[in-house]
Amino acid sequence: MSPLSLLLTNALILVGGFIILWLICLKTRDVTPIDSVWAFGMVVLATTTFFLTDGTHMRKWILLGLCSAWGLRLGGYMLWRWRDHGPDRRYQALIGKAQRDRGWGFGKATALLVFATQAPLLFIVCLPVQLGQVGSSVPIGLLAICGIVLAIVGILFETIGDAQLVRFKSDPANAGQVMDKGLWRYTRHPNYFGDACVWWGLFLIAAETPYGLFALPGPVLLTWTLMKWSGAPTVEGRLHKTRPGYADYVKRTSGFIPMPPKKT
């Protein structure tokens, strides 16, 4: 299968899955599960690519394995958080604003503002595990080894960061407090940093293949999204309003790359 045919097939699978999820969300009136599907969807595309491309070369197993480890862990965590915390207030505010200001119904608002934006983002970010499996018979080189290490570090980093945050929030004594312990002492977003490491690592693994370099928009878009659009800006905007000590935390703590805290 040619790279173009592969991408088209995966795009159709993704669109079909999103339409089904959208129809389910119309019944439940809650689109929060899309956060889980964001991660699970990457695993689906990695798996379909594995079977649609030729051979069972080591690079394919590595890309599928790392993507699955990342996606199943994150998707499961997001699913648990939804069941434990309830609907995501960000989506409720976004959809509610569209209904009030534009007169849109729930179906139109969710289709255009949530699903129609998430699907192309997912597809582009997932390019490394799609294109990296085409012509994957190229021997594993130093670049791929560096990518494997970076991806593993990213998975561990965000897993530990999420676990530390859950433990912190589970203690009633920490209510209203700023999480500045563990990995959160060195970066305000260990989960986002971990995500970026994973997908830059997967890109490095893919970059040794004939079409892997064309996957560069994936990690670039993900990093920009996390740091400049729907990730850090949204979270920090809310925390500045709800956590009295958050401004001081921002002054002393790196926003992305882990670094020793500054003295204030």
pLDDT digit string, tens, across residues 84-114: 888 988 899 999 999 999 999 999 999 999 9
Per the structure, the complete domain to which residue 91 belongs is given by: 3-252
If one counts the domains in the chain, the total is: 1
Res. 156: pLDDT tops 80: yes
Alpha carbons 71 and 158: distance in angstroms, whole number: 12
**Residue 76: inside a domain, yes or no?**
yes
**Residue 263: inside a domain, yes or no?**
no
**Residue 260: inside a domain, yes or no?**
no
118 pLDDT band, cuts 50/70/90, is: very high
171 in Cβ contact with 210 (< 8 Å): no
**Residue 259: inside a domain, yes or no?**
no
Alpha carbons 43 and 159: distance in angstroms, whole number: 17
**Residue 35: inside a domain, yes or no?**
yes
**Residue 261: inside a domain, yes or no?**
no
**Residue 262: inside a domain, yes or no?**
no
> What stretch of H or E contains 107?
helix 106-110
Q: What average pLDDT does the chain have?
A: 93
User: Residues 40-74: pLDDT tens digits?
Assistant: 999 999 999 999 999 889 999 999 999 999 999 99
- Give pairs for 1-9: CB < 8 Å, separation 24+: 1/52, 1/53, 1/54, 3/131, 3/134, 3/211, 6/49, 6/52, 6/53, 6/130, 6/134, 7/130, 7/131, 9/48, 9/52
- Global pTM value: 0.93
User: Residues 119-152: pLDDT tens digits?
Assistant: 999 999 999 999 999 988 899 999 999 999 999 9
**Residue 224: inside a domain, yes or no?**
yes
pLDDT computed for residue 111 by the predictor: 95
User: Residues 173-183: pLDDT tens digits?
Assistant: 988 899 999 99
